Amino acid sequence: MFLEIKDLSVKIENKNILKSLNLNINKGEVHAIMGPNGSGKSTLANVLAGKEDYEILNGSINFKDNDLFDLNIEERAQEGMFLAFQYPVEIPGVNITPFLHSAINSKRKRMNEEEIDNLSFAKLLKSKASDLGINIDMLKRSVNTGFSGGEKKRYEILQMSILNPDLAILDETDSGLDIDALKIVTDGVNKLKTKDNSFLIITHYQKLLDYIKPDYVHVMVNGSIVKSGGSEIAAEIEKDGFQKFQ
């Protein structure tokens, strides 16, 4: 199994957020999780990435034959887990290019691969950026600083394509995007898709799933998955909302 979440219960500040959640993802699959606000979708993403504010009450997560709880944030990232943030944080003064360069090299180091030098990295970054229609000038700026909402999301996808993760988690990547930006972002994701990597797409709306076809759709309500199936579920939600699942 590629990713196996078993009976996961999580709380934060005395509030139970995830309740006995189960989810399995195989290599090459695209899963979508849909749910109303406050259902625990972003918590799941952050627990997978290893954010430290949460208390794990019960359950286990297995990722590529690792007990995920044995790995800290950066080790998970280096093992190939990528979280595209819902609200990417601004880091003033930290230039994008060296930032991503160190990121890719820490991953290569863990994988015992050779580090990539300055020049080859600059080339790689440029080509990936132009694929995503990102202006080269943007690469001279500080991480997420002064970016518009759309630019931030596009920049997340750029990082994803550079780091080439095994499991990419997209946390509400569609929120705040107009239709053109959504198209650029989803094109980027589709280009990245191979039979060896997997995607977990967290979204509130069905629209994103018109562009990225999921193999499985899960409905999450109140911290657990209440229904799973194919893309027909998304259409059902589009029509009737989440009411009937609650």
Partner 1 sequence: MNSDTLNTLNSYSINKYKYGFVTEIDDEKPKKGLNEDTIKFISLKKNEPEWMLDWRLKAYSKWKKMKEPKWANLSFPEIDYQDIYYYSAPKGFEKKPKDLSEVDPKLIETYNKLGIPLEEQKVLAGVAVDVVFDSVSVATTYKGELEKLGIIFCSIGEAIQKHPDLIKKYLGSVIPPGDHSFSALNSAVFTDGSFVYIPEGVKCPMELSTYFRINAENTGQFERTLIIADKGSYVSYLEGCTAPKRDDNQLHAANVELIALEGAEIKYSTVQNWYPGDEDGRGGIYNFVTKRGLCAGKNSKISWTQVETGSAITWKYPSCILKGDNSIGEFYSVAITNNFQQADTGTKMTHIGKNTKSKIISKGISLGKSQNTYRGEVSFLRKADKARNYTQCDSLLVGNQCGAHTVPYIDSKNNTAVIEHEASTSKINEDQLYYCRQRGLSHEEAVSLIVNGFCKQVLQELPMEFAVEAQKLVSISLEGSVG
**Sequence-separated (6 or more) residues with CB below 8 Å from residue 62:** 1, 3, 4, 6, 68
Q: Does residue number 100 form part of the binding site for partner 1 (CB under 8 A)?
A: yes
Interface with partner 1 (CB under 8 A), residue from 7, 55, 74, 240: 74
Interface with partner 1 (CB under 8 A), residue from 39, 42, 43, 78: 78
Interface with partner 1 (CB under 8 A), residue from 14, 15, 65, 89: 89
From 203, 238, 239, 207, select the one nearest 34 (Cα to Cα).
Answer: 203
Span between the terminal Cα atoms of the chain, in Å: 30
- Residue 137 or 232: which CB sits closer to partner 1? 137
Per rule CB under 8 A, count of chain residues that contact partner 1: 30
Q: Does residue number 91 form part of the binding site for partner 1 (CB under 8 A)?
A: yes
Q: Does residue number 31 form part of the binding site for partner 1 (CB under 8 A)?
A: no
Considering only the stretches 12-20, 21-29, 46-54, 131-139, report the one whose residues sit in contact with partner 1 under the rule CB under 8 A. Answer: 46-54
- Residue 156 or 174: which CB sits closer to partner 1? 156
Kindly identify the residues of this chain, within the stretch 181-240, that bind partner 1 according to CB under 8 A: none
Helix (H) or strand (E) holding 224: strand 224-229
CB of 246 to partner 1, least distance (A): 31
Judging by beta carbons within 10 Å of its beta carbon (0-12, 13-18, 19+), is residue 95 exposed, middle or buried?
A: middle
Helix (H) or strand (E) holding 25: strand 15-25
Query: What are the residues facing 95 on neighbouring strands?
Result: 142
What whole-number distance in Å separates Cα of residue 121 and Cα of residue 162?
Answer: 9
Residue type, 129: A
User: Where on the chain is the footprint of partner 1 (CB under 8 A)?
Assistant: 49-52, 72-74, 77-78, 82-83, 85, 88-89, 91-94, 99-100, 102-104, 106-107, 110, 142-143, 159, 163
